[in-house]
Amino acid sequence: MSRGVRLLVFLVGGGCVAAMFAVAFFRMPAFGGTAHLYRDLAVRATLAHKTANAVGSVNFDQRGIDTLGEETILLASVIGAAVLLRPSEEEAELRPRRPGRVMPSTKLLGYALLPVTLLVGLDVVLHGQVTPGGGFQGGVVIATGLHLLYVAGSYPALDRMRPLEAFDIGEVAGATAFGGVGLAGIVAAGSFLANVIGRGTFGQLVSAGTVPVLNGAVGLEVGCGMVVLLAHFLQQDIIIAAKTEAAASGGTAGERSGSDDEPAERDEES
């Protein structure tokens, strides 16, 4: 199918989809209306389980089985990316180059914000049942915060702080803990992922039963999983090269063909 034909097919199909959208949108309840049946039911169940964060309650308590599926998808995709990005037979690993010049202000901000970010991430994970946030958000903040070490320092520094085997084990431990809590629900109350721990006091740290435990498990899994995922992409970019290339540069931290800008000076949002 040539590009022109493909565009034509898309325009026809896209036009029909747009028309169907228009018809549907004018028949939907108005934006910002007051009739939300699921909201009434979910909020009633949230308050009955003494959880302050209704979204966390829906995610981990009322629809915990869907979150189990979502975490399994995350685990499977990290494994898939790790398998796809491993060095093949005709590739070897170079020693990474000397890091480029990092501006002193970047270094200061990076090193100063690293413990702050890790603490904030841990706080978001632990308070998932009382404030907006939870396991997934906190895990992502922790994973991104760890890479401040790469922005402010160098790739070898990040490599030392980040033993990949430990993070692999951490990710699987988080996923297994989620399933374990579910099985404990079967043992204690007869149904998978039942909320079996005591409900605690509304709005306090110890509340909402199994929600904080599941938040911790998901935080561990997501944090470790994202670090492993980024590690494989970073390795592909920085370390792995074709064997001929490695031989040409003598296997030392020599120049690499392609881009000349150093990874340490790359702008990153974190």
| Total of chain residues touching another protein, rule CB under 8 A | 86
DSSP 241: E
Q: Which residue has the tokens 């033993």?
A: 163
Least Å from the CB of residue 57 to another protein: 7
Least Å from the CB of residue 60 to another protein: 9
211 binds another protein (CB under 8 A): no
Q: Counting every residue, how long is the chain? A: 270
237 binds another protein (CB under 8 A): yes
Segment 44-73, which members bind another protein (CB under 8 A)?
A: 46-47, 52-59, 63, 66-67, 70, 73
34 binds another protein (CB under 8 A): yes
Stretch that binds another protein, among 7-15, 93-101, 106-114, 158-166 (CB under 8 A): 7-15
CA dihedral over 189, 192, 196, 201, signed as positive or negative? negative
Segment 135-154, which members bind another protein (CB under 8 A)?
A: 136-137, 140-141, 143-144, 147
Count the alpha carbons within 13 Å of 67 in the hemisphere toward its beta carbon.
30
How far is residue 162's CA from residue 139's CA, in Å, rounded to a whole number?
15
30 binds another protein (CB under 8 A): yes
Alpha-carbon distance values, 94 to 101, 205, 232, 236 (Å):
20, 48, 15, 11
End-to-end alpha carbon distance in the chain: 41
Segment 110-129, which members bind another protein (CB under 8 A)?
A: 124
94 binds another protein (CB under 8 A): no
Cβ proximity of 230 and 107 under 8 Å: no
Pick 76 or 186: Cβ nearer another protein: 76
25 binds another protein (CB under 8 A): yes
Pick 33 or 104: Cβ nearer another protein: 33
Stretch that binds another protein, among 40-48, 156-164, 165-173, 180-188 (CB under 8 A): 40-48
Determine the 3-state secondary structure of 92 from DSSP. Answer: strand
43 binds another protein (CB under 8 A): yes
Task: Give the count of beta carbons closer than 10 Å to the beta carbon of residue 233.
Answer: 11
Least Å from the CB of residue 194 to another protein: 18
* CA-wise closest residue to 221 among 191, 193, 179: 179
> How far is CA 187 from its chain centroid?
30
